[in-house]
Amino acid sequence: MQKNISRRVSKIPAAFSDQIHPLLQRIYAARGILSDAEVDRALSRLLPPDRLKGLPEALALLVAALQNDQSILIVGDFDADGATSSVLAVLALRAMGAQRVDYLVPDRFRYGYGLTPAIVEVAQQRAPDLLITVDNGISSVEGVAAARRLGMRVLVTDHHLPGAQLPEADAIVNPNQPGCEFPSKALAGVGVIFYVMSALRSRLRELGWFAERGFVEPRMVEFLDLVALGTVADVVPLDANNRLLVHHGLQRIRAGNCRPAIRALAEIGKRNLSQLVAADLGFAIGPRLNAAGRLDDMSHGIECLLAEQESSAKALAEELNLLNAERREIEAGMQQEAQSALQQLALNTRELPFGLCLYNASWHQGVIGILASRIKERYHRPVIAFAKADNGEIKGSARSVQGVHIRDVLDAVASRHPELISRFGGHAMAAGLSLQPEHFDAFRAAFDAEVRRWLTVEDLVGVIQSDGELAPAEIDLPLADLLRNAGPWGQGFPEPLFDGCFELLEQKLLKEKHLKMTLGLQGTNRVLDAIAFNVDLQCWPNQNAKSVRLAYRLDVNEFRGVRRAQLLVEDLQPAG
């Protein structure tokens, strides 16, 4: 579907020094950054943990567990944020002297999400004294109660939005829980457990724990590679605090100071470790790690991240790569089926619903989140893709657009129609839910009705936010490098995107879906390469187009040691 281009502008005067490139000044200002101090990436600017509600209680639990040599069990989630959170917790606790610490990640197909009573029964077999949730738990009211009935102490660390009732855990650390004054609400699960472990290290130092036992005090910066990966992969907003965490994690990765698994996954993804940027974490490393949780068991991903030997990490990374290839194949088939269903729906109703709900009993429940994302990008409206679950219910994965808080939409539907949704939870932009199959049609209508309260017809047109047009002289390798290193860019802090018209000199398909172009810079003799991924094959290649209007990112292509500027095309339209 065609998109409109809107140019970003800053309505507030900025006060940058000459040390900031003029183009970067404009780009930063359009994102609300107005001075040199706001782009200072010194680690000392990281928010302190002392305003995290529940932290004193959490530290008391953790200190007691270490002092009394208690058994600690980490219960994680089955995505990249959950995996990195689990690994960070295990490694940090071991580094601080915990002798009995292990992890458990639910099989999404048998147990579903979070600390359910069923997964507590599995946990009980390991007889933990202290159970710590990472990247989940804030909605696990029944599971926490079950764990405490069995004599476990429970520490919940999470970042998801809470429901009306909080679990009665021994301690909860979540910047989004009521009454928490921590300034950044955008921490990923891995960011939350990083803060908890950092505070624990400080508390143990105060108690003389390391000195008395002759332990080497762990350096928390050594875990920032995991924090960067989990934060970017979970697509949480990159506010100032998250940008610091991701920046310093990337710096460590670029220097080779990272987990062997990250190095192995970057190599498999054909990414240059020394040049790695946030987008590489999100599009090359994160998906391969996520594939374990989508198709099989996230413990494969966790074991890969825990591996200390390069050979073990490479072998496990290869397994993850094969799973990711299988996931891509499954996803491609599901996309075809979804497109056919939507075309039929449009023919029958003349217009698509504002909120799309799609269900196919044959779809893979581990891939519906990606499917929902793809359909959302194409049709510019909230999407929920459903698949059949093993317990007789159907599970939905929701993805939203700007201006629609998808968890609040589900909450409103649940309030108006309490009989429809069995359970739900999530963020502003992504959520999950379960319901009985016989309720699907009623839910689909209720969801569309609620989304219509948030959106107008005009909102359903995709809008590309552009940072303007680059002069031909600006489109070069030095500027491409400058932009790559000026981030980290990501959710809530978008990578610079430009628009402009170019002569279309050559065009050809790669892998039957990507359009490779050679462009002429108008008014010059220069040419450059551009690539548009997953083009609409009904429109491209277009041999009648002599020029094109592009929305693009200025990037660097490295091939056989040669680096040159290239355009990564977000949108293209014939211009003549």
Instruction: Tell me the pLDDT tens digit for each residue of 156-180.
Output: 999 998 988 999 999 999 999 999 9
Residue 237, pLDDT score: 93
Asked whether the predicted pLDDT for residue 427 surpasses 90, the reply is: no
pLDDT band at 440 (very low <50, low <70, confident <90, very high): very high
Average pLDDT over residues 482-486: 95
Q: Are 490 and 498 in contact (CB under 8 A)?
A: no
Residue 466, pLDDT score: 96
Residues 6+ apart with CB under 8 A from 255: none
Average pLDDT over residues 219-237: 96
Average pLDDT over residues 177-195: 97
Round to whole Å and give the CA distance between 286 and 490.
14
Residue 9, pLDDT score: 86
Round to whole Å and give the CA distance between 148 and 139.
15
**At what angle are helices 260-268 and 286-295 packed, to 10 degrees?**
100
* Main-chain phi, psi angles of 132, to 5 degrees: -120, 120
User: 136: which 2 tokens?
Assistant: 């989940």
Round to whole Å and give the CA distance between 533 and 348.
31
pLDDT band at 530 (very low <50, low <70, confident <90, very high): very high
pLDDT band at 429 (very low <50, low <70, confident <90, very high): confident
Instruction: Please give the mean pLDDT across all residues of the chain.
Output: 93
From residue 514, how far is each of 325, 375, 507, 531, 570 by CA, in Å?
Answer: 17, 18, 10, 7, 12
In the chain, % of residues over pLDDT 70: 98
Domains recognised in the chain with CATH numbers: 52-218 (3.90.1640.30), 351-460 (3.10.310.30), 464-574 (2.40.50.460)
Better-scored residue on pLDDT, 457 or 195: 195
In the chain, % of residues over pLDDT 90: 81
With the C-alpha atoms ordered 531, 532, 537, 539, is the resulting torsion angle positive or negative? negative
Asked whether the predicted pLDDT for residue 439 surpasses 90, the reply is: yes
* Cα–Cα nearest to 204, from 72, 358, 62, 412: 62
Q: Which helix (H) or strand (E) holds 349?
A: helix 310-349
137-151 tens-digit pLDDT: 999 999 999 999 999
With the C-alpha atoms ordered 122, 126, 129, 131, is the resulting torsion angle positive or negative? negative
3-state helix/strand/coil string of 249-307: HHHHHHCCCCCHHHHHHHHHCCCCHHHCCHHHHHHHHHHHHHHHHHHCCCHHHHHHHHC
From residue 115, how far is each of 61, 111, 147, 165 by CA, in Å?
Answer: 19, 9, 9, 15
Average pLDDT over residues 320-336: 93
What is the distance, to the nearest Å, from the Cα of residue 500 to the centroid of all Cα atoms in its chain? 30
Asked whether the predicted pLDDT for residue 24 surpasses 60, the reply is: yes
Q: Which residues are paired to 447 by β-bridges?
A: none
Residue 1, pLDDT score: 52
* Cα–Cα nearest to 448, from 384, 361, 374, 365: 384
Q: What's the DSSP call for residue 34?
A: -
Q: Which of 111-125, 231-245, 423-437 tops mean pLDDT?
A: 231-245
The strands making up 430-435's β-sheet, listed across from edge to edge, are 356-359, 383-388, 394-399, 430-435, 421-426
Residue 4, pLDDT score: 82
> Which of helix, strand or coil describes residue 232?
helix
With the C-alpha atoms ordered 377, 378, 382, 384, is the resulting torsion angle positive or negative? negative
Residue 114, pLDDT score: 83
Q: Are 174 and 138 in contact (CB under 8 A)?
A: yes
Q: Are 173 and 155 in contact (CB under 8 A)?
A: yes
Residue 339, pLDDT score: 87
> Which of helix, strand or coil describes residue 420?
coil
User: 454: which 2 tokens?
Assistant: 């948030």
Residues 6+ apart with CB under 8 A from 461: 1, 3, 4, 380
Residue 2, pLDDT score: 61
259-310 tens-digit pLDDT: 999 999 999 999 999 999 999 999 999 999 999 888 888 899 999 999 999 9
72-104 tens-digit pLDDT: 999 998 899 999 999 999 999 999 999 999 999
Asked whether the predicted pLDDT for residue 350 surpasses 60, the reply is: yes
Average pLDDT over residues 368-375: 92
